């Protein structure tokens, strides 16, 4: 697959780009919002496209041309207000879904947040963020795309173990960004993840096996 990584300059996004670049199965295009970010990827001989999630669906669709899968791992970040949470984590995600459809792309992986599907378990200090994730996920589920929604727990920068727990309902837990990225890559072609949504934390089962057990 030729995979568009939306949010390629983020911490998970950079790991994804590296894994896809080194993959024997896939190629990668990094979507970023600034030209200087794109230049960094191009110097590493990685294809890059500049598009902002606050721009039009057509702009995002243009960035996705030539790809046949999209991974959405963008986020407004901790240092922005709730206005950006709405515009990036919700509307930006929905625009990307619409852009994938417009570009004729079927495969779509959404990086969400643990327990985003259960309002009663949303973290009190992050309610707007969880609401954005909840409704973006709902829009993806109602689309015509072959989707997978991955809801990782608290993210760490520790080296990955390659061992996870993946299930439809996990109340809490943590996971390394590296293991999240590896799980996303495995999910791209693992048909058992198609039309599936699941929470993801560190565990004791190898990634490939855990996905087949969903």
pLDDT in tens, 5-63: 999 999 999 999 999 999 999 999 999 999 999 999 999 999 999 999 999 999 999 99
Average pLDDT, the chain: 97
Mean pLDDT across 59-88: 94
Q: Say if residue 77's pLDDT is above 90.
A: no
Per-residue confidence band for 135, with pLDDT thresholds at 50, 70 and 90: very high
User: CA 31, CA 69: separation in Å to the nearest integer?
Assistant: 13
End-to-end CA distance of the chain: 23
Taking only the tens place, the pLDDT of each residue in 162-191 is 999 999 999 999 999 999 999 999 999 999
Q: Say if residue 79's pLDDT is above 90.
A: no
The pLDDT of residue 60 is 98
Residues belonging to the active site: 129
Phi, psi of 204 (to 5 degrees): -130, 10
Taking only the tens place, the pLDDT of each residue in 189-204 is 999 999 999 999 999 9
CB 165 within 8 A of CB 202: yes
User: CA 131, CA 165: separation in Å to the nearest integer?
Assistant: 24
The pLDDT of residue 78 is 77
The pLDDT of residue 82 is 87
Most distant CA atoms of the chain, gap in Å: 46
User: CA 180, CA 70: separation in Å to the nearest integer?
Assistant: 16
CB 60 within 8 A of CB 96: yes
The pLDDT of residue 74 is 97
Q: What is the DSSP string of 86-142?
A: IIIIIIIHHHHHHHHHHTT--EEEEE--TTTT-GGG--GGGHHHHHHHHHHHHHHHT
Give, in order, the Cα–Cα distances in Å from 36 to each of 49, 71, 161, 167, 177. 11, 21, 33, 39, 24
CB 200 within 8 A of CB 165: yes
């Amino acid at each position: 697959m030729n995979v568009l990584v939306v949010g390629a300059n983020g911490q998970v996004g950079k790991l994804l780009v590296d894994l896809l670049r080194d993959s024997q199965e896939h190629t990668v295009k990094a979507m970023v919002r600034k030209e200087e970010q794109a230049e960094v990827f191009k110097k590493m001989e990685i294809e890059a496209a500049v598009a902002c999630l606050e721009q039009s669906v057509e702009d995002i669709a243009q960035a996705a041309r030539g790809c046949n899968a999209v991974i959405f791992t963008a986020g407004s970040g901790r240092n922005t207000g709730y206005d950006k949470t709405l515009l990036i984590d919700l509307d930006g995600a929905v625009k990307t879904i619409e852009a994938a459809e417009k570009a004729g792309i079927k495969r779509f992986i959404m990086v969400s947040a643990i327990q985003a599907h259960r309002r009663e378990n949303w973290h009190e200090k992050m309610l707007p963020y969880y609401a954005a994730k909840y409704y973006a996920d709902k829009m993806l589920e109602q689309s015509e795309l072959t989707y997978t929604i991955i809801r990782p727990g608290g993210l760490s920068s520790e080296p990955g173990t390659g061992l996870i727990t993946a299930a439809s309902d996990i109340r809490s837990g943590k996971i390394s960004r590296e293991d999240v990225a590896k799980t996303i890559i495995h999910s791209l072609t693992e048909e058992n993840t198609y039309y599936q949504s699941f929470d993801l934390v560190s565990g004791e089962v190898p990634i490939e096996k855990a996905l087949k057990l969903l």
